[in-house]
Chain A
Amino acid sequence: MKRFTSLILSILLVVSLFSFVACGEKEPEVDPTLLEGSYTKDFAGTTLKVYNWGEYISDGAEGSIDVVRAFEEVTGINVEYSYYDDNETMYSELASGASYYDIIIPSDYMIQRLIREDMLEKVDVSKLSNYKYISDEYKDLYFDPANEYSVPYNVGMVGLIYNTTMVEKAPDSWEALWDSELSGNILMFKNPRDSFAIAQQRLGIDLNTLDKAEWDKAAELLKEQRELVQSYVMDEVFNKMEGANAAVAPYYAGDFLSMQENNPDLAFVYPKEGVNIFCDSICVPSNAQNYDAALLFMNFMMEPVIALANAEYICYASPNTAVINNDDYKFKGNAILYPSEENKPKTQWFHDLDGDIVGYYENLWVKIRNS
């Protein structure tokens, strides 16, 4: 009898957990009258496979819009959402042919490679009613000069984050990451391309150089820095900088804004040597199975309400004019995301590099980390 009672109790516990979760579903995610494009239920019941970066879409946390659910409600399409940590992971999964996706959101240089390898489907942007909101500044970019394959989603730049209580004077150069006074309090990117870019900018070398001797030079500089570096990080940077456990770190401008919310001592600068600029754009892979639904999704992502929700959630700069000019936008005119003409740093894009060069610097990187 005792066993029977405990069985009943555990079943009740599990059931009550589920019903608690179910209570959440009530109102629609977004008021359909706020949407400008027309979203028919023509593709209701079909599946759309979306492959995006982690933490890179408004997901309903803290009262934001759950964009994926909103899209499902409006179109009846069933979204299968999965995510990756870097462009290369996404590329190798796509290239292996092991699975297909209808929507991917790669960065500039990766789009260049995908186009060159004929892995993207063309998109007729004139059929996307919300494309008019994309700022001219982010059209005709080098990787998609005729805007045939991609729709910009987020743009950003790398910069230097520092803790004002831990540095003597505000840095204005990447040199701060080599400052022996800050030894043990310096963080650096864990991924080779971003780390090399900083060394290359200090040396005035082109980020996309094909000269191996120039990569060697940058590697020398990074080797010098090795013993000053506390840790090579990606997402741990949030924890470390917010908790004042490191003094300086290079990272993406948008992420600085979320760090600053948790630690007001943090400050940000675009180093004078120049910084890397990037643009992540929405594309449709050539093996997509639900092309029309993918176009609907693209248009949906450019909706003023949806783009606003994403821009506020992700904290990166938006290429969408309906967001940039919206008075309610939390980061409207933010000096870091949208620097004025005279405050704009020197910028350089990453281009897709030859596999030989990639292999070369990846090998150098392992040796630097291990020196």
Chain B
Amino acid sequence: MTDKAKRISANKRKGKSVGAALLNIPYMVWAMIFIIVPMFIVAFYAFTDADGAFTLENFKQLGEYRDNIADSFIYAFIATVITLLLAYPFAYFVTKCKESTQKIIMMLVMVPLWMNLLILTYSIMNIIEANGIINNFLQMLGLERLQMINTPGAVILGMIYNYFPYMVLPLVSVMSKIDNSLLEAASDLGSNAVSRFVRVILPLSVPGIVSGVTMVFVPSVSTFYISQKLGGSSVNMIGDIIESLINKVATRHVGAMLALVLMVIILVCIMLMNRFSDDDEGGMIV
């Protein structure tokens, strides 16, 4: 390439990026005001005391909440694994359907997202309550009543129910891009169904798994409300503790500290997750 041609192409690239930057300004301003600034406010609260003076005192209380943080990660992990096991075969099945059927199925997956989280959680409460729909049904059949609400299982159920669509969507989008000719080629070369899955489909759907897992795991770890309503006093998720701490003036700074610590842990988790997927298709989160 001549120097002139280089210059022109560099200018072109530059022009494009200036245009893109201009279009980006509204969102950048938005992100600044509603994402970056609030994060600094959280950090500010975490490192100050009630008088606004710098202190590390808040972090000394971290140990008291160690078990809650651990519990939250365990529950979120279980919920994510179950969601993945449910969603993966389902997503594969969806991609094999006719396009019109696919549309209907995907709409059914999305319907819960059209409804408010509070209403969904309240409905689940009514279904699994000690005297709820399931138990009344069991009693009618002459069976033992089950203790479902106010157990960790109920919280995990709530998470799976609420976050299932976020797992299905990226999986479907990645799987539908898998070229059928690759599978045909694999068969021609003597692959059976198992090895086709292990050596072709699974590796190609990793980006979808990574983004689905991230989109389910992150909100699950910091879940609140769902755990309060469905877990009763049996579960103390870190999200609920942060909420109750931040709501009270006296404990606001400790709450901010916990929120900050949780944010850092989640960030580290996501970075580790993304190492599994070197492909940036399917939506990298960080």
A interface residues, Cβ below 8 angstroms from B: 88, 92, 184, 192, 226, 229-232, 236, 239-240, 243-246, 355, 358-360, 362-363, 366-367, 369-370
Across the interface, which residues of B come within 8 angstroms of A230, CB to CB?
150, 232-233
CA distance A362 to B229 in the complex (A): 21
Contact status of A231 and B126, CB under 8 A, knowing A243-B131, A362-B250, A363-B251: no
Minimum Cβ distance to chain B for residue A89 (Å): 8
Given contacts A245-B129, A366-B244, A370-B64, contact A184 B150 (CB under 8 A): yes
| Shortest beta-carbon distance from B222 to chain A in Å | 17
Tell me which of B50, B65, B126 contacts A370 (CB under 8 A).
B65
Given A243-B131, A245-B130, A366 and B150 contact (CB-CB distance below 8 Å): no
Residues of the A chain whose Cβ atoms lie less than 8 Å from the Cβ of B64: 367, 370
Q: Are A243 and B129 in contact (CB under 8 A)?
A: yes
By secondary structure, the A interface counts as helix
Chain B residues near A246 (CB-CB < 8 A) = 130
Residues of A within 8 Å of B122, CB to CB, are: 239
Between-chain CB contacts (< 8 Å), 20 pairs: A88-B248, A184-B150, A226-B233, A229-B232, A229-B233, A239-B126, A240-B129, A243-B126, A244-B130, A245-B149, A355-B249, A355-B250, A359-B251, A362-B248, A363-B250, A366-B245, A370-B64, A370-B65, A370-B236, A370-B241
Q: Which residues of A contact B249 (CB under 8 A)?
A: 88, 92, 355, 358-359, 362
Given that A230-B232, A239-B125 are known contacts, is A362 also in contact with B251, CB under 8 Å in the complex? yes
Main secondary structure of the interface of B (DSSP, over half): helix
Chain B interface extent, by class: 20 to 34
- Which residues in B have some Cβ–Cβ distance to A below 8 Å? 50, 64-65, 68, 122, 125-126, 129-132, 149-150, 228-229, 232-233, 236, 241, 244-245, 248-251
Q: Once the chains are docked, how many angstroms separate the CA of A88 from the CA of B228?
A: 21
- The answer to whether A243 and B236 touch across the interface, beta carbons within 8 angstroms, is no
Kindly state the separation between the CA atoms of A368 and B241 in the bound complex, as whole angstroms: 12
Question: Which 10 pairs between the two chains have the least Cβ-Cβ distance?
Answer: A359-B250, A231-B232, A362-B248, A245-B129, A362-B250, A244-B131, A245-B130, A229-B233, A245-B131, A230-B232
Complex CA–CA separation, A239 to B232 (angstroms) = 13
